[in-house]
Amino acid sequence: MSLLEIENLSLAIHGVPILKQVDLSIAPGQIVAVTGESGSGKSMTALAVMQLLPNGAEVSGAIRLNGSELLNRPEAEMCALRGASIGMVFQEPMTALNPVKTIGDQVMETILIHKAMPPAQARVRAEEVLSRVGLPPDRFPLSRFPHELSGGQRQRVVIAMAIALRPKLLIADEPTTALDVTTQAQILELLKGLVSEYDMGLLMITHDLAVVADMADRITVMRHGEVVESGATQHLLGHMRHPYTRMLFEASGHQVTLPEPVEPQPLLQVSQVVRDYRLPRKALFDRPGHHRAVDGVSFTLNKGERLGLVGESGCGKSTLTRAILGLEEVQSGAIHLDGQPVFTGHRPNLAVRRKMQVVFQDPYGSFNPRHRVARLVTEPFHLLESPPTGAERQDRIAEMLTAVGLSPDDSGKYIHEFSGGQRQRIAIARALIIRPELILFDEAVSALDVSVRAQILDLLAELCATYDLTYLFISHDLSVVRTITDRVLVMQSGRIVEQGETEQVFADPQHRYTQSLIAAAPRLPQIGKEAV
Amino acid sequence: MLRYSLKRLLSLIISLAVASVVIFGVIEVAPGDPASFMLGVNAQPDTLAALRAELGLDVSKLQRYFNWVGGMLTGDFGTSYTYRTPVSQMIADRLWVSLPLALYALTLSTLIAFPAGIYAAARRGKPGDLAVMGATQLGIAVPNFWFAMMLVLIFAINLRWFNAGGFVGWETGFWTGLHSLTLPAIALALPQAAILARVMRSSLLDILGEDFMRTARAKGLSRRQALWRHGVRNALIPVLTIIGLQFSFLLAGSIIIEQVFYLPGLGRLVFQAISARDLIVVESVVMLLVFAVITVNFLVDLAYAAVDPRLRSRT
């Protein structure tokens, strides 16, 4: 018999349909992955099982746990089930824990709230589960606060809370999306281990198809609140019936063809750059310590070259980006663009600044919501001595919007009228409008759905052909960097540990760190072939 | 935690030192010589000189600053120019009214605001929330002296539960003293409670939307348990800031309420001293208020650290 059975589940919130007749079932010890793009209703399905839906939700259908119906259960009974019979792990480990309570208290709370055992015993159990998830109390005492732990460690605490009472069903909603690849691999391994050890059912919600293919026994693909296809992993990967499923997998492994780079001629020269951050003093009259975020980094970026920069969070990618943009002064070393220094004295060099533009990760946070698109894309004009005006300005706006696949008519709209992918197009238009020598893409496609990401990558390849772009593409996503760059730098704790032709580095990594990164990244299966 | 406290203490001492220089400077450059003001325009030059010497005005400014600060450190605030009594005594008398009144009002406002704010946040958008929000809107809009007059009208004149004004003094006993401060304390507390309740509500609503509240619910906590165990303490941080600001205001800003209830408080003392150009009293009271404000901020800082462990380690 199934552990969890969802039948004909429909959900509307304030009358807006969110889920339409969703069917799903999970057996004990089975991992079922629900995948789809944002807005497909996968998280809502999980919240419906937990009965933690937002206000105004109307549900119909059936959700049965071990044969007993969960829908329309009294709230008190659901409270008794949550945490005890169903555990849940969320996406964002940085905010999923209460910052003012110790990890011990928070893990024990799951046990104590269900009055499963007396406090002394609960403490022992908390230590046990924390050890099980890889946080042994001799190194991670129960008295630690969440802010004293890294993201991966916090996710372990969240998992410990969810499994403290050995629930029969564990729901994990994008549990590794916010984590680095090596941490992701460890957390996935941990979840797999727990499933077989406790014979739990795991409902795993994720947009990452490589993770899905790697982990799940069964896959359910959702779109617009409907299940479009589901089946056993191997079978589904081998025989995708629905075009949407096929599109999703194709988009995830999307490859672009970049035009041949032009004759090498140095554009950006970074030599021996060091960036220190001051740490707070340990004692009142102590000398303040330093954290070296970028440690003697040197590289050259040629005109017309597409260079990738990969590394895990905290490796110094962002600091290096800020230094190149002249947003922060470096302690030693030099950065030159076209032979001119980025910093002159203690001031950013404006002559260099106007030759660089940047596209950021978050398409929602990087625009002023009160400005129209015309004003947003012309923002870089303030760097120019005589910015175009009147008809010339209009022409430039129209040209750029057309170049990124939008319409010149869009210039009068506000940013909230656009989707995430369209916003990222506008960000690219904004970067391109002054025809910079160099563009920095800082995780520019990381927040996008796979299908949208594929379109943006195509756009970039197109723009490379039309405008001879030179860019530095910073990303933690190895598969994207592999297709969109000619050469790649691998960064670890402030240093560049390996660099070379992208294909060369990925096919035959030399440095141990690069090898571990590539090994940890989940691989997308070949579509249409039954995996062995 | 100890290092954090010491750091805050050091910053308190530096703030006080800077404040004393500023207060002394501002009041000294203000036009008007207290001695000539006291003796009138027809004063003889030698009488004036004698009075200036007596008041300690004949030495250099620097010397006077150090005399003033040194005196305050030993509890000697100097002698009032107009009343010819020790300033420390005058302030102490008034402080015995103003300080308890401020604490009383703050306690009342907290006791009203916390439940009201938490209640409203827990019932967001429902009639209970709307009622509380309407009441706080009213509390903010209506000036406190109007509350004061209404309170007098109802509880003193009609019901005769309280005196209409005056302070009986603490000699008559703690409870009688407190009794005579009750109406002014309520009048002071109501508008403050309205502000505080709104801050509590919005702060708690922010917290209720946090991821860890959802985590708490997923562990099996009921809505109410999650609110009390995980919400309230996190919501306290902005609320503490407002409480600190309100205490400073209540200590000195209650001059209108003191007038309405004939209370011999600090607000009235400052007002009289300014009109009489009694600089030494003004300086001392202002310094005292600055001291109170900075001390309260220090305590609020400590309270932050008690509430939020992230501040303890970020020394």
Q: SS3 letters for A318-377?
A: HHHHHHHCCCCCCCEEEEEECCEECEECCEECHHHHCCEEEECCCCCCCCCCCCEHHHHH
Chain-chain contact of A100 with B308 (C-beta, under 8 angstroms): yes
Q: Is A52 within 8 Å of B214 when comparing Cβ atoms? A: yes
Judged by CB atoms within 8 Å, which residues 129-148 of A form the interface with B? 145, 147-148
Residues 6+ apart with CB under 8 A from A375: none
Q: Taking CA atoms, what residue in A is nearest to B225?
A: A113
- Could you give the C-alpha distances from A150 to A101, A140, A146, in angstroms and in order? 16, 12, 8
Best of B7, B219, B236 to disrupt the A interface (most A CBs within 10 Å) is B219
pLDDT score recorded for residue B130: 93
* DSSP class of A440: E
Distance CA A3, CA A67 (A): 8
Task: Say if B240 is an interface residue toward chain A (CB within 8 Å).
Answer: no
Q: State residue A279's pLDDT score.
A: 77
pLDDT in tens, chain A (532 residues): 689 999 999 999 888 899 999 999 999 999 999 998 888 888 899 999 999 988 888 999 999 999 889 988 899 999 999 999 999 998 888 889 999 999 999 999 999 999 888 999 999 999 999 998 888 888 889 999 998 888 888 999 999 999 999 999 999 998 888 788 888 888 899 999 999 999 999 999 998 888 888 889 999 999 999 999 999 998 888 888 899 998 888 888 888 888 887 778 889 999 999 998 887 766 666 777 788 889 999 999 998 899 999 988 888 888 899 899 888 888 889 999 988 998 887 888 888 888 999 998 888 888 999 999 999 999 999 888 888 888 999 999 999 999 998 999 999 999 988 888 899 999 999 999 988 999 999 988 888 888 888 989 999 998 888 888 899 999 888 889 999 999 999 999 889 999 999 999 999 999 999 999 998 888 887 665 444 3
Please, is A451 exposed, middle or buried when counting C-beta atoms within 10 Å of its C-beta (0-12, 13-18, 19+)? middle
Contact (CB, 8 A) for A410 and A398: no
Residue A67: strand, helix, or coil = coil
Nearest Cα to A400, choosing from A367, A355, A433?
A433
Contact A161 B3 (CB under 8 A): no
Spatial separation of the C-alpha atoms in residues A111 and B219, rounded to whole Å: 9
- Output the pLDDT for position A364: 80
Characterize the bridge pairing of strands A218-223 and A201-205: unpaired
pLDDT at res. B30: 67
Residue A103: name the closest of A140, A135, A144 by CA.
A144
Q: How confident is the model at residue B192 (pLDDT cuts 50, 70, 90)?
A: very high
CA distance B222 to chain A (A): 6
> Which of B7, B215, B313 has the CB atom closest to A90's CB atom?
B215
pLDDT tens-digit readout, B275-286: 887 878 888 888
Chain A residues closer than 8 Å to B230 by CB: 98, 101
CB contact under 8 A, B309 and A109: no
**Beta carbons of B263 and B166 less than 8 angstroms apart:** yes
Taken in order A83, A89, A94, A95, is the CA torsion positive or negative?
negative
pLDDT at B50 over 90: no
Nearest to A98 by CA among B226, B152, B90, B96: B226
Reduced to 3 states (helix: H, G, I; strand: E, B; else coil), residue A203 is strand
User: How much is the pLDDT for A34?
Assistant: 94
pLDDT at B315: 44
CB contact, 8 Å: B210 with chain A? yes
* Helix segments in A145-208, DSSP class H: 151-163, 181-198
B230 vs A52, A98, A158: nearest CB: A98
Q: How many CB atoms lie within 10 A of CB B115?
A: 13
Q: Count of A–B CB contacts within 8 Å?
A: 86
* Residue among B217, B225, B234 minimizing CB distance to A52: B217
Interface contact flag, B215 A161, Cβ < 8 Å: yes
